Structure 1
């Protein structure tokens, strides 16, 4: 009871906070009543004629109700839409289950018409029905390591039904089994192994399978015992199993499983191994994602080897959609794995099985009591720009939240409540969403619309006297006829377009006259400020009331406010003229101010980008001066490099001194110049950003020049060698020509057939043969 009083106090404080919020109306561009209503949840519009003063902008009609009343607007002339709600279905809560659709949450339908930004709270009641039906689907791992567990379940059939009867008289139980996908690398695909995947000594072993539905929901104990007794163990290769595949099919194949419409739906998953999830199918070349559809034929999941495992997110959505609450009854070795899974699935519990599952009944009872005693109310996907916050009202509430409300330790038939606060941030068309307790079929449909229109008392007379007989009245302001503009339609625009006249009153396409004046015939007429002074400037952008203050004094009392900026008197400085001029703390050891790399404001250095306080001496992120000053060091020290021709211009901020040894103790550099020589130098940054003094060693370390004599000698030898080769070539060619001529002459003397011979051994043999023939003749 104390907690309820505390909650009531918190709600009262929240309402007081909203009342405080009502005191403000933040306006942007307001040219009409609709603009005003959209500006904020507590903005109201005054439609009273002559409410504004001549030249005063119509935006003053938009303010809080209290402010409008103080300005002389009567309540009946104030337009301020409010929220409204209409409960269209509110069936009474059921007290017990009477074989009909029970009602555990009310109301069931509500219509909300909301003003953007203005929260609306309504209350939801919930009471769990006594004796509410329970459907329990026992989903068991049939891999070989669960052999003893299967035998124990065959013995515990009566005890399991007795436990369910203690929960409710309307209990049903079903049974299913799973192993894994019957493809490599999950299952041995050898034909004999597929038929009998168990140990070779195991006589009763069924063929490998992914998921098999064994028994639909039944209240008959004998039927459950008979079907379970007929089951035998199976097996596979790897340790993780296809439990997510099985749970997905058990969730989406409702007709085959036999889930009742009005029941608490439980899946008890028993296993001693982890689970495969989306993406693991790639190991077997299975790339098709799980489609979250039912694929059961003859009680067997037929897409097991064609479709990937579901993701945890897919399974969570399917369980929530079908109001199924899983209980993971697992062995101790995988308890931590399933506890992590349970954190993702909102309505789930984890219990540790004994080695042979003998404690599974006690585990189910504890898990069911834990699930049923925790009531969690949440919503489905929300429309854009809609926010929902739940505040539980019960003895053991969870924290208020924007995604769900929780009540713990709720007893059967105990009435609890949830305050649901809905806020729409902008005008929307008709939208809806549903609110429901997790794991329970009851739902509340919330239909939303927004109230963004002004219901004003308008005049249809287009020659209304208030509008200089040149316009009509809409929400208290003039709607001018074509060709006229102005607060009272007093300005004829002639050949000019109205939009171009209004554009001339806007600075950088902003608000007309900065919202501080009226655009009259293309020029701003500025209003007065709250202090009685006037806005001024071409666009009413200036005033002398909005400068920074110091010690509750504008400009600290040490300056004048000019167009929103302090103009300090002599001897003062700072954005609010709060400081006496002094640079004592900005002085450096060499009597400079901030080393010339910043300005001294209020006796503190405001450093240029990169340079660090307090005195702007060092720079973080600046380029390395060893590299940036290399070209200047080269041209000033050695008269070479890229800046050689305009060294004095490019390097006017750099002073270089050549030395045989360094005297500076600052940054030492070593770089290669444009001629490939190593230059050693030291840099000292002087006052300013790009002002350096350098000492450079007189001697550069340059690479040795090429050996001319060796090159010449080598070249001469090369020439002689080429000459010898050339002479030899000419001698060879001359010799070959001479021999060829001898060969031609000899052929002419010969009576042998004229053929082409070469001057070789074979040719000489031919000549010898011919000579022999002549002698015989």
Structure 2
């Protein structure tokens, strides 16, 4: 039967309950439970400023000098524990992103008559601290830098700030805010190839002495990768953008859950209010997503908002206050048991929160133990939590392995379950493979070990059985890539396939007789029966003395012989037939 176990959580400071859930499901089964999210009041806040320090941001950086103290006073109304940190970025330090001219490589902004620091991908300047004086000193010492092109390396720096948790000092219990200040767009993943950088971003931390050391050897992250790392590390992003590029960042918000975009006024006059407004918007939104999704397990999540509205889990609820609770109706259905073994669990993650719900999955894929009045069966509960199988040993369940194993073999001399599964009660339960799906009555089928055609196993026109494509009706070829109708192109005028000297493969003849050649294997001058087969075509070489009926026949059945004879006949005897014959043969 299907069942669910939800432990009681009594911690007053928990925002997400329950913390763990255990469910037991059989194929076709379904169960559900309620998940609650309650935002805490006076949440600890970690705010890390990630600032574009290219020359055009000069005025905004100066404004940061007064941010720390003013902002900390305003944040006191919504958080009792507030910390600030700081980092800077420009772009990848290779051409064509920066000037590599010897006179400019160390001072990219000489055109502004300013003394700039060398360009850099990302530098972590100050770890999160509640000492506002330290933040102010770090900002005062910050110099601007520069580059050539307008897109900057913001996504590179954002990923490092998210994953380098120990360097930044992100606290587990805090709301994590990453404020990105810029006036330009950011480079995307494939842009790096312009600089000869082709190694994909690995999503790991690469800070050495607080400097990002892979800026010139790894690509920018993709939007999907960046989104994954931000969610994984519970980072909420505030894009603080000055100028006409604000709309570019605003369009990114659906692709980066847990982010907001705000526009900076001239000389960042509204920066403090911007942070407060963005923070309140972020904490008033409650959304949820499923991590570690399991094959054949389907989640349907409905958010029940305090105002009575209902949305999908990823749409969630907006304008949620501290004293309000968001309910999520989580429904889990199991379609089948195509994979077995190994630890399995799913994670429900409210975006931007540091708490999750772990769902331990127990999938029962074999028969159930039945009443003593019913016939005996072997029972197996395939427990995904510890990967072990437990077998019923009661009076109404028994096993006869010698007999059942034979039922699990496709042929007598083959392996049990084709060596790709376990035999339980005379029935195969296929192993899970990281390469793909293993299935079939004897686990003889899979979707990965056969030849591929245009990236698809068996061209999508057959099934993979024991490493070879078994084509569906109407298809043929090693990869099942050819229509059976193409065989008509292999038939000669006599109705023979490849003139009886070869096989038709995808509408083309493959000659099996090494002496034959031609599109239909029709040319074979050294074959023993060549003269016998083509004697009737001799008249075609004496076209001056034959009737029109014979000429018409020559065009349909002897054209290739006429062509061949013309190519091989002696220059002084062009009308000599290809084969000599006895008078008896001629009479016939």
| 1:252 aligned residue | 163
Q: Does 1:393 align with 2:304?
A: yes
Aligned equivalent of 1:414:
324
Superposed, 1:606-755 pairs within 5 Å as 644-645=552-553
1:279 lines up with 2:190 in the alignment: yes
**Matching of residue 154 in structure 1 with residue 72 in structure 2:** no
Across the aligned residues of Structure 1 and Structure 2, the Cα RMSD in angstroms comes to 3.2
Could you tell me how far apart the structure 2 residues matched to 1:104 and 1:207 are?
Answer: 45
1-structure distance, mates of 2:245, 2:116:
25
Contact 1:376 1:407 in 2 (8 A): yes
Q: 1:202-217 alignment to 2 at 5 Å?
A: 202-217=113-128
- Structure 2 residue 147 is the aligned partner of structure 1 residue 236: yes
> What does 1:424-573 align with in structure 2 at a 5 Å threshold?
424-427=334-337, 429=341, 431-451=344-364, 452-458=366-372
Selected match of 1:366 from 252, 259, 277? 277
For structure 1, which runs of at least 5 residues remain unmatched after alignment? Answer: 1-81, 95-101, 463-473, 484-496, 500-638, 651-777
Partner SS for 2:360: strand
Measured in 2, the distance between the counterparts of 1:160 and 1:256 equals: 23
Distance in 2 (alpha carbons) for counterparts of 1:349 and 1:112: 36
Instruction: Indicate which of 262, 265, 269 corresponds to 2:173.
Output: 262
Shift of 1:381: 2.6
The correspondence for 2:5, drawn from 86, 95, 98, is 86
- 1:26-65 alpha-carbon deviations (Å, 9 max, x no partner): xxxxxxxxxxxxxxxxxxxxxxxxxxxxxxxxxxxxxxxx
**In structure 1, C-alpha distance between the alignment counterparts of 2:369 and 2:324, rounded to whole Å:** 45
Aligned to 1:622: none
**How many angstroms apart in 2 are the aligned matches of 1:646 and 1:400?**
78
1: distance between equivalents of 2:178 and 2:552?
Answer: 86
Q: Please tell me whether the aligned partners of residues 292 and 345 of structure 2 are also in contact (alpha carbons under 8 angstroms).
A: no
Q: How many residues align?
A: 395
Name the structure 2 match of 1:130: 41
1:548-576 alpha-carbon deviations (Å, 9 max, x no partner): xxxxxxxxxxxxxxxxxxxxxxxxxxxxx
Q: Give, in angstroms, the shift of residue 287 of structure 1.
A: 1.6
Distance 2:346 2:142 in 1: 45
TM-score (norm. length: structure 1): 0.48
Flag the structure with larger Rg.
1
CA distance in 2, matches of 1:270, 1:325: 14
**Alpha carbons of 1:178 and 1:460: their partners in 2 closer, same or farther (altered >3 Å)?**
closer
1:504-528 Cα deviation digits (max 9, x unpaired): xxxxxxxxxxxxxxxxxxxxxxxxx
1:527 is matched with none
Give the secondary-structure state (helix, strand or coil) at the position aligned to 2:103.
helix
Question: SS state of the match for residue 407, structure 1?
Answer: coil
* Alpha-carbon distance in structure 1 between the residues aligned to 2:26 and 2:307: 33
Aligned 8 A contact 1:399 1:405 in 2: no
SS where residue 235 of structure 1 aligns? coil
Cα displacement (A) at 1:221: 1.3
Deviation per CA, 1:570-596, whole angstroms, max 9, x where unpaired?
xxxxxxxxxxxxxxxxxxxxxxxxxxx
Partner secondary structure for residue 446 of structure 1: strand
- How much does 1:339 deviate? 1.7
CA separation in 2, counterparts of 1:324 and 1:642? 88
Alpha-carbon contact 2:22-2:360 (below 8 Å) kept: yes
CA contact (8 A) 1:245 1:310 kept: yes
Taking the aligned partners of 1:262 and 1:203, their CA distance within structure 2 comes to: 42
2:211 is aligned with 1:313: no
For the structure 1 residues 384 and 202, does the alpha-carbon distance in structure 2 shift closer, same or farther, using more than 3 Å as the test? same
Please give the alpha-carbon distance, in whole angstroms, between the structure 1 residues aligned to 2:299 and 2:264: 40
Instruction: Tell me which of 219, 234, 246 is aligned to 1:323.
Output: 234
Q: Distance in 1 between matches of 2:353 and 2:220?
A: 27
* Structure 1 residue matching 2:110: 3-state secondary structure: coil
- The yes-or-no answer on 1:168 pairing with 2:82 is no
Residues 300-338 of structure 1, C-alpha deviation per residue, up to 9 Å, x if partnerless? 111111221111111111111100011111124112211
Structure 1 residues 194 and 419, CA gap change in structure 2 (3 angstroms) = same
Task: Give the C-alpha shift of residue 201 in structure 1.
Answer: 5.4
The more displaced of 435-444 and 358-367 is 358-367
The 2-side partners of 1:252 and 1:305 are apart by 19
2:579 aligns to what?
none
Greater relative contact order structure (CA < 8 Å, 6+ sep): 2
